[in-house]
Structure 1
């Protein structure tokens, strides 16, 4: 991950450094006990680390594994508009805009 503090609108802040410095393998229980109160922020709000990862029953081999799990588990509001890409083109809004869409 190029910027370990922020990816896909998810801001880990100091938690990112803490995860990098943690000893692995580590269970969810270990990580929550240590970092549960850290806030994971995103454009439309935030959640505590414990709220995001606490429901899982995992053992992680690395900080990158934890980050990936966070990205998989954060509230859908974290990633902003669904089906939006800033890579050019337009967001699909109707069948007429999709050349592969057939009308019957």
Structure 2
């Protein structure tokens, strides 16, 4: 079984679905993907969503995924801000204000 870190990409936890993506018969059209795998859970920092819900806003009825990488990229594109942790959070120190300008770099 894959380690959770191995199935997490840019804040998205692919989980068991990520393990299965490589074994799909590609190219796979959007309708077949949703019919066969739409109930797969995709983990996000604040919970999870089903693959069918995540891909529902797609308007292209002829969408076809050529390989697992293309499908993964589409999922990452569709989650957008949902995969981002706390908005405005930074682990780069306590202040987000620019330095006072007293120190000058050459």
Q: Same fold (TM over 0.5)?
A: yes
Q: TM-score, normalised by structure 2?
A: 0.72
Name the CA distance, whole Å, in 1 between partners of 2:77 and 2:42.
13
Name structure 1 gaps, 5 residues minimum. Answer: 100-104
CA contact (8 A) 1:28 1:54 kept: no
Instruction: Give the structure-1-normalised TM-score.
Output: 0.73
Aligned pairs for 1:7-86 (under 5 A) are: 7-56=9-58, 57=60, 58-82=63-87
Structure 2 residues not aligned, in runs of 5+: 102-106
> Among residues 89, 93, 96, which one is paired with 1:93 in the alignment?
96
Deviation sequence 1:46-84 (CA, Å, 0-9, x none): 110001123322211001101000000015132213566
* Number of equivalences: 94
CA RMSD of aligned residues (A): 2.5
